[in-house]
Structure 1
Amino acid sequence: MLNSTIMNPLEQIVYVDADACPVKNEIVDICESLNVKMVFVSSYAHTLTLPSTAQIVTVDNEKEAADLYLVNKSKKGDVCVTQDHALASILLSKGVVAISPRGYLFREETISQLLDARYLSQKQRRMGGKTKGPKAFQQTDRVKFTEQLLKILSKKEGS
């Protein structure tokens, strides 16, 4: 039997694909206020400065090292903040709630469309075509993310 003071398998964790995450401060504020454990995962190429309440995991600088860590460590009911559609797709199949830093909640019903659009854009770029990048990150994105994360974590707290 697991010692519950050491490891609680029911404990919800917010994981963050942290290398290019623009809402780190918002995640810290929300998780601290709700007493939710948070784990920021980044490569050696990035230095994170976060409060002691945040766990920082540093992985190799390999292309998918952070993604592999997130897939291997997250469990059903956890939350993961990521901009990566492919990672979100894998996490959804595990029962992890995946949310983008813009507050977009990834869903099983729509993830295939996102992956298809990404594939077509990559294909067009390989053929020499140009595609539009993402819109600039706005304050409204930050607000939407904060509202969405609070909503997700509040549901868990009220369960």
Structure 2
Amino acid sequence: MPQTDAPVTILVDADACPVKEEIYRVAARHRAHVRVVSNSPFRVPVSERVKRVVVSDGFDAADDWIAEHASPRTVVITADILLAERCLRAGAVVLRHDGKSFDAASIGNAIATRAIMADLRAGMDGVGGGPPPFSKADRSRFLQALDRVLVGMARG
């Protein structure tokens, strides 16, 4: 059984995260700790609960740090499907930037879809789009999802 008096820590895969400011606000309300993990320095709020973690620029260094620190008392914020899988195995809650969660039921399909999309992109010789633009609705869904997760973790 997780120790509910231990603080929740939010691990942020920060290099491409569009919701860092939202994370800081929600974390402050819930007294959660935040670790902003990246290959290059980001400005973070001055707070004893928010720390910047700059890792080497080695391939997957930030992912490795996050996966090594993931636990049942962490919430991981990432769009990286393979990192999400590693963190789920460690017992962490994993949210995407749009508020959708990765869980044991969805991660297999997400990995399969990722592989199919990589194959399709490889055959397009660089032609094509990418993910749809990040919207206000995505930001709102994220805020609601993070708040809901932190409330649930506080209840144990």
Q: TM-score, normalised by structure 2?
A: 0.90
* Pair 1:79 & 2:75 matched: yes
SS in structure 1 at match of 2:16: coil
| 2:42 alignment partner in structure 1 | 48
Q: Percent identity?
A: 27
Give the drift of 1:34.
Answer: 1.2
1:150 to 147, 152, 155: 147
Give the drift of 1:50.
Answer: 1.3
Deviations 1:14-39 (A, max 9, x none): 10000110000000001111111110
The one-letter code matched in structure 1 to 2:149 is: I
Give the drift of 1:125.
Answer: 2.1
Q: How many residues align structurally?
A: 150
Retained in 2: the 8 A contact 1:40–1:57?
A: yes
| Structure 1 outlier segments of 4+, above 3 Å | 128-132
Listed as ranges, the gaps of 5+ residues in structure 2 are none
Give the drift of 1:49.
Answer: 1.1
Listed as ranges, the gaps of 5+ residues in structure 1 are 1-8
RMSD: 1.7
Q: How does 1:21-60 map to 2 (within 5 A)?
A: 21-44=17-40, 47-53=41-47, 54-60=50-56
The one-letter code matched in structure 2 to 1:48 is: F
Q: TM-score, normalised by structure 1?
A: 0.88
Structure 2 CA distance, aligned partners of 1:149 and 1:18?
Answer: 16
Retained in 2: the 8 A contact 1:121–1:131?
A: no
Give the drift of 1:156.
Answer: 1.4
SS in structure 2 at match of 1:117: helix
| 1:61 alignment partner in structure 2 | 57
Deviations 1:58-110 (A, max 9, x none): 01112200000001112123100001011001111111000001001111111
Structure 1 CA distance, aligned partners of 2:78 and 2:13?
Answer: 5
| 1:13 alignment partner in structure 2 | 9
SS in structure 2 at match of 1:148: helix
| 2:103 alignment partner in structure 1 | 107
Retained in 2: the 8 A contact 1:124–1:131?
A: no
2:116 to 120, 131, 134: 120
Deviations 1:112-141 (A, max 9, x none): 111111111111222336554111000000
Q: Whose RCO is larger (CA < 8 A, sep 6+)?
A: 2
| 1:5 alignment partner in structure 2 | none
* Pair 1:90 & 2:92 matched: no
